[in-house]
Amino acid sequence: MFRMFTHALAPDRRRFMLAAALLLTALSLTSPPLRAQNGEPALENGRPRGLPLDESGREKYNGGWTFAIDNDIFLPTENDYDYTGGFAFTFAGRRTAEWPWSLDPLVDRVEPLFFGRDAGAFNLHSQQIGLLAFTPDDLNNPAPIPDDRPYASLAFVAGSRTRVSHPLAPVDTTTVTLGLLGLGLAGALQRGIHKELDLTEVPEGWEHQISDGGELTARVAWMRQSLLSSNFQQHRYEYELKWARDLSLGYQTEAAVSLSVRWGRINTPWWSFTPDRVEYISQPAPVIGTSFRRDTREFYFWLGAKIRLRVYNAFLQGQFRDSIHEISSDDIEHAVGEAWIGATWQVTERHRLSYAIRYQTPELKHGQGDRNLIWGGIILSRDL
Please report, for residues 61, 257, 339, 343, 348, the alpha-carbon distance to residue 124 in angstroms, rounded to integers and kept in the order given: 10, 23, 27, 24, 23
Other beta carbons within 10 angstroms of residue 383's beta carbon come to: 24
Which residue range is the domain that position 13 belongs to?
2-383
Torsions phi, psi for 343 (to 5 deg): -145, 150
- Report which of residues 157 and 115 the model is more confident about: 157
Q: Is the distance from CB of 284 to CB of 159 less than 8 angstroms?
A: yes
pLDDT digits 0-9 by tens, 354-384: 999 999 999 999 999 999 999 999 999 999 8
pLDDT tens-digit readout, 268-314: 999 999 999 999 999 999 999 866 766 778 999 999 999 999 999 99
Q: What mean pLDDT is reported for the chain?
A: 86
Average pLDDT (182-198) is 84
Burial state string for 341-360 with b = 16 or more CB within 10 A and e = fewer than 16: ebebebeeeeebebebbbbb
Tens-place pLDDT, residues 20-70:
555 555 544 444 444 444 444 455 555 677 788 888 889 999 999 999 999
Question: How would residue 242 be classed by pLDDT, with cut points 50, 70 and 90?
Answer: very high
Residue 259 confidence class, pLDDT cut points 50, 70, 90: very high
> Residue 327 pLDDT more than 90?
yes
Helix (H, G, I), strand (E, B) or coil at 88: strand
Whether pLDDT at 6 is above 60? no
Looking at the 3D structure of the chain, how many domains does it have? 1
- At 248, which CATH number? 2.40.128.140
Contact assessment for residue 364 and residue 149, using Cβ atoms and an 8 Å cutoff: yes
- Nearest-Å Rg of the Cα atoms of the chain is 21
- What share of the chain has pLDDT > 70, as a percent? 85
User: How many alpha carbons fall within 13 Å on the CB side of residue 308?
Assistant: 26
d(Cα 14, Cα 350) in Å, to the nearest integer? 42
Determine the pLDDT at residue 108: 95
* Average pLDDT over every residue of 218-233: 92
> What span, in angstroms and rounded, lies between the C-alpha atoms of 338 and 361?
6
